[in-house]
């Protein structure tokens, strides 16, 4: 690769990063990112499951039929399936779902992956005992109300929602406060627990995520 090509590549990556942390993301933007970065270089990719997901699965809190909403390349879906959970994953990016299916095949687990917009999902009411949302809610921008309504529809009464979203400590436009979680989810779900985790991006930068465990009211 020559100098001008390298510079163009760098500018493109910076533009994608800026959109990711500050601007609205469209369906095409997600697809462009999955096509533009190798899976292991995607800024949110961890190659290992979120520590809070691990804890709540091991404690039996996240169990049964689980939806990985915005499942991306499938890291968390595959891990949950390996723990014996019945996993469905939905993502708006066709390339993400292709990667996720490949990962599931490699790990010999069965997962119901679906390309689609989670705001208009294909699942019947009360389909899931739990929903895992790592980094999807905070990108819904002006559609957050519809998104939360849909997630609530999919969850069984008593079902669990584990949300990981940009922490207010990041001071990013897309950061999510506890007050926002209460306002957006509080009508149908109760916040049981809050925490935090640090995600180290493939480039070594740290991103703080707020963690929230919610239960759907009966």
Site residues (vs ligand SAM, CB under 6 A): 30, 44-45, 70-72, 75-76, 90-93, 96, 117-119, 134-136, 139
- State the SS3 of 1-66: CCHHHHHHHHHHHHHHHHHHHHCCCCHHHHHHHHHHCCHHHCCCCCCCCCHHHHHHHHCCCCCCEE
Measured in degrees and rounded to the nearest 5, phi and psi for residue 217 equal -65, 150
From the CB of 117, what's the least distance to ligand SAM, in Å? 5
From the CB of 119, what's the least distance to ligand SAM, in Å? 5
From the CB of 53, what's the least distance to ligand SAM, in Å? 9
Tokens of 178: 């506890």
Give whichever of 7 and 18 is closer to ligand SAM, judged by the CB atom: 18
From the CB of 74, what's the least distance to ligand SAM, in Å? 8
Give whichever of 89 and 159 is closer to ligand SAM, judged by the CB atom: 89
Cα(139)–Cα(26) distance, rounded to whole angstroms? Answer: 9
Cα(93)–Cα(113) distance, rounded to whole angstroms? Answer: 11
Tokens of 210: 């707020």
Give whichever of 70 and 210 is closer to ligand SAM, judged by the CB atom: 70
Give whichever of 151 and 181 is closer to ligand SAM, judged by the CB atom: 151
């Amino acid at each position: 690769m020559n100098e001008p090509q390298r510079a163009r590549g760098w500018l493109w990556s910076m533009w994608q990063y800026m959109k990711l942390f500050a601007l609205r993301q469209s369906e095409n933007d997600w697809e462009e990112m999955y096509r533009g970065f190798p899976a292991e270089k995607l800024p949110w990719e961890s190659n290992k499951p979120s520590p809070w997901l691990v804890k709540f699965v091991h404690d039996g809190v996240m169990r049964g039929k689980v939806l990985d909403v915005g499942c991306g390349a499938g890291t968390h879906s595959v891990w949950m399936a390996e723990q014996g959970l019945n996993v469905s994953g939905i993502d708006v990016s066709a390339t993400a779902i292709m990667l996720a299916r490949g990962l599931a095949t490699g790990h010999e687990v069965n997962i119901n992956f679906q390309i689609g917009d989670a705001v208009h999902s294909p699942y019947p009411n009360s389909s899931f005992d739990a929903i895992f949302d790592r980094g999807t809610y905070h990108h819904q921008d002006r559609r957050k109300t519809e998104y939360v309504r849909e997630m609530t529809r999919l969850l069984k009464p008593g079902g669990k929602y584990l949300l990981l979203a940009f922490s207010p400590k990041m001071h990013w436009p897309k950061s999510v406060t506890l007050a926002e979680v209460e306002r957006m989810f509080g009508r149908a779900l109760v916040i049981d627990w809050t925490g935090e985790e640090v995600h180290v991006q493939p480039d070594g930068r740290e991103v703080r995520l707020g963690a929230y465990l919610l239960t759907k009211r009966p």
